[in-house]
Structure 1
Amino acid sequence: MTAETKSAQDRARAAQDAIAARHLRPLFGWVPGTLLGGVAWPPVGRPLSRAAITSSWNLWWQAHLVDLLVDGYIHRFDDHCGIAAGRLMRGIWIRNGFRWTNQYYDDMAWLGLAAERVSRHVPRENTADFSGTAARLSSVMVDAWRPRLGGGIPWRTTDTFFNAPANGPAAILLARTGRHDRSVAMADWMDASLRLPSGLIADGVWHRPNGDLELDSATFTYCQGVALGAEVEAYRLTGADVHLDRIDALLRAVAARMTVDGVIRGAGGGDGGLFAGILARYLAFTATDLPPRADDLRARAGRLVLDSADAAWANRALDADGRPVFGPDWHRPAALPDGSGSAARKIGGAVAASSVPERDLSVQISAGILLESAVSVTIGSSEHTGSATPD
């Protein structure tokens, strides 16, 4: 193992250990064979207290925590991560009312991706088989397709807002569950409907009651990430150079508009805490799963991941046990939360940040994803082939 690889692995392991120690607990504090990620540290109330029970329930945060644990298993064959991923999936199912679905298509797409990765990467002796979960949620994404309304799939079952955060992960999930034509169609729809003159992908488009389509041109890092992931999958499935051209344009726009001195910019806490980590994951996917003929794209994507990881690590704080605490902006020093002020809370369909964003599970997961993504880039861990130079 080279010094560079050891450093990347040690950092990622430290982030995983910190999240496990501070956030991972059995459901309701006692349900056997389950885990759930506490949304805040220091926590909100004691287990089973009113404050703890009524604290924000964020399915998509938990799905990304599953994905992070799968990363730990892939990169270090860490059985603790593999077992925890399965227990977390069970905790999600129970906490979500003994079902895998809710009214948000983006939540379901993320959970489907997590289930698919657990099933594909973690051996059965460490976890249950969640391939049926992935297949079911994949079917939900297919059924949500609304071309007559200008989509795409909507953000949630009650909306006519067709956005990148739903279509991007859905396209990636469909690519990985055998729904190839629809996956490519989703990537094409995002490029045709959401790409801005800047090269970035817009948040989404509204279908108004009068039939008009109204673009919401807000740009977020995670929208770029899921678009990259969808395009890499589309290239893998078709071999069409148009997808490489789109990836090139996205990388240029991200580097120019979504970084600070080469470091992916943050979006605060709450739901925004996950945005940068999602971009980092799919930048790493671009770096590891494009073919050798796309070496320039691979190198540019990987550099953004590695530079961001170096900055996040350099700017970490340490808790009383010497474990890392990461900030929402990786180019700035992190603060150490003390439990004062408000914790993350649901407002409408989104989760607002804690008074100190470092308190939020989303912020710590995001940094963990970044550091595991740096491992992927460093060791050449391809999502699909396990090779640094996939076919």
Structure 2
Amino acid sequence: MTQRAGYADGTTEGSPSLWGARSAVAERAVLARHLRRVWALPGTRLGVAGWPQSIGNRLHGHWNYWWQAHLLDCLVDAQERQPNAARAATIRRLVRGVRLRNLGTWTNDYYDDIAWLGLALMRARDCEDVPITKAMTAIAAQLRAGWTDHGGGGIWWRRKDMFKNVPANGPAAILFTRWATRGGQRADRQRARSMTEWMSQVLVDPATGLLWDGVYVEPDGSIKDIVRVIYTYCQGVYIGACVELADGDTSGVWVERAEQTIRAVATHLNDDNVLRGRGGGDGGLFAGILARYLAQAVLRLPPSPATATARDLVLGSALAAWRNRALARSGPLFGPEWAQPAQVPRAAGHRRVERDLSVQLSGWMVLEAAALLERSAG
């Protein structure tokens, strides 16, 4: 029996619930290998950063705040796919675990981190009525305070820094657009529009249509340097912000910008409809984030050749991730490059990026994105 044939999910290629079943298998594997109590405290959960687990991993010594936000997002994806009381309890335990591991607070110095957690918390409330008022009050206040006119606008990447980037402004814009109708301030939607407009004017590469990473600014507010590095997740959060702002907008500008970015991704950031990875560590999440917001574009923008392209990218990436999975303890293991076979790490000291929770969440995320499209088509 080969690796690919050795993982039964009870479906066939023609099954209408194929991606849902595969997502469920990925969920069980990731949770079995990575989910653990915080310091053995009851009623808590947190994602262990690496598997096989080292002693430091088990103690959550290096716990990656923003990875936990994406773990929470994936759990909400799964709960929307197939509601389950046990998973609902896990969602609440994870939220509690994040606060406890963050020493009783909801925020840190990184604006991108707290925006990601805020987005996941809003979804957890919508899905399971998780109380988030205190958390969102703190997160939204810090994000609002992050805006300055340095570099033409936008919020900072982190406190006491001179760098502004898409990874902070993209998720913050998505958050403010949603929070404006869920308990935030009416002006939050305008904040989201201003952030996204700033990205559009300052960080879109005119040659490719892709988003650069960010800008360093001088104390007087002028731009010192543009970081012209292209990351897949920058495209994802910009698309996500445009999709949110397109809702209820009659100008068509946000739809046009989202479609332009989708076309740019299709031209420059994939191979045969498979999104490219960015290794392990934080980069392990990048392709999964792009897949998530490509799926949102398919579902929420008017049908067009661009949204058809987005669908192809999500489904092609999910198929590649699944076909190239390895068989490890508790189930499938995903690689950092979905177009290449994954390799199973032998021990905690084995420096393969498949160890990283980020890489496994990204694989789970793209399967959930495919499952979402599958449900919408049904």
Asked if these proteins are the same fold (TM beyond 0.5), I'd say yes
Q: Decide which of 268, 285, 288 is 2:296's aligned counterpart.
A: 285
Please say if 1:308 is aligned against 2:310.
no
> What residue identity is the alignment partner of 1:341?
G
Per-residue Cα deviation, 1:66-111 (whole angstroms, up to 9, x for no partner): 0000000011113333221111010000000100010000000001
Match of 1:349 in 2: none
Q: Residue 237 of structure 1: CA displacement? A: 4.1
Match of 2:218 in 1: 208
Distance in 2 (alpha carbons) for counterparts of 1:295 and 1:76 = 29
Q: Residue 51 of structure 1: CA displacement? A: 6.6
Distance in 1 (alpha carbons) for counterparts of 2:263 and 2:123 = 29
Secondary structure at the residue paired with 2:16? helix
- 8 A contact 1:44–1:55 mirrored in 2: no
Secondary structure at the residue paired with 2:241? helix
Secondary structure at the residue paired with 1:93? helix
Match of 2:346 in 1: 338
Match of 1:110 in 2: 116
Match of 1:6 in 2: 17
> What residue identity is the alignment partner of 2:115?
A
Secondary structure at the residue paired with 2:192? helix
Q: Residue 189 of structure 1: CA displacement? A: 0.9
Aligned length: 358
TM-score normalized with structure 2 length = 0.90
Q: Decide which of 204, 217, 233 is 1:195's aligned counterpart.
A: 204
- 8 A contact 2:143–2:172 mirrored in 1: yes
Match of 2:240 in 1: 229
- 8 A contact 2:287–2:362 mirrored in 1: yes
- 8 A contact 2:154–2:164 mirrored in 1: yes
- 8 A contact 1:115–1:130 mirrored in 2: yes
Task: Give structure 1 stretches of 5+ with no counterpart.
Answer: 343-354, 382-387
- 8 A contact 1:336–1:358 mirrored in 2: yes
Q: Residue 15 of structure 1: CA displacement? A: 0.8
Q: Decide which of 369, 375, 391 is 2:371's aligned counterpart.
A: 375
Distance in 2 (alpha carbons) for counterparts of 1:365 and 1:195 = 28
Q: Residue 54 of structure 1: CA displacement? A: 6.7
- 8 A contact 1:150–1:207 mirrored in 2: no
Distance in 2 (alpha carbons) for counterparts of 1:111 and 1:51 = 21
Moved over 3 A (4+): 1-5, 50-55, 209-212
Distance in 1 (alpha carbons) for counterparts of 2:70 and 2:279 = 17
Q: Percent identity?
A: 43
- 8 A contact 2:52–2:347 mirrored in 1: yes
- 8 A contact 1:267–1:276 mirrored in 2: yes
TM-score normalized with structure 1 length = 0.88
> What residue identity is the alignment partner of 1:238?
D
Secondary structure at the residue paired with 1:175? helix
- 8 A contact 1:266–1:328 mirrored in 2: yes
What does 1:111-260 correspond to in 2, within 5 Å? 111-122=117-128, 124=129, 128-178=130-180, 179-197=188-206, 198-209=208-219, 211-213=221-223, 214-260=225-271
> What residue identity is the alignment partner of 2:123?
R
Secondary structure at the residue paired with 1:240? coil
Match of 1:362 in 2: 358
- 8 A contact 2:53–2:348 mirrored in 1: no
C-alpha RMSD of the superposition: 1.8
> What residue identity is the alignment partner of 1:165?
P
Distance in 2 (alpha carbons) for counterparts of 1:211 and 1:63 = 32
Distance in 2 (alpha carbons) for counterparts of 1:6 and 1:173 = 31
Q: Residue 53 of structure 1: CA displacement? A: 3.5
Q: Residue 340 of structure 1: CA displacement? A: 4.9
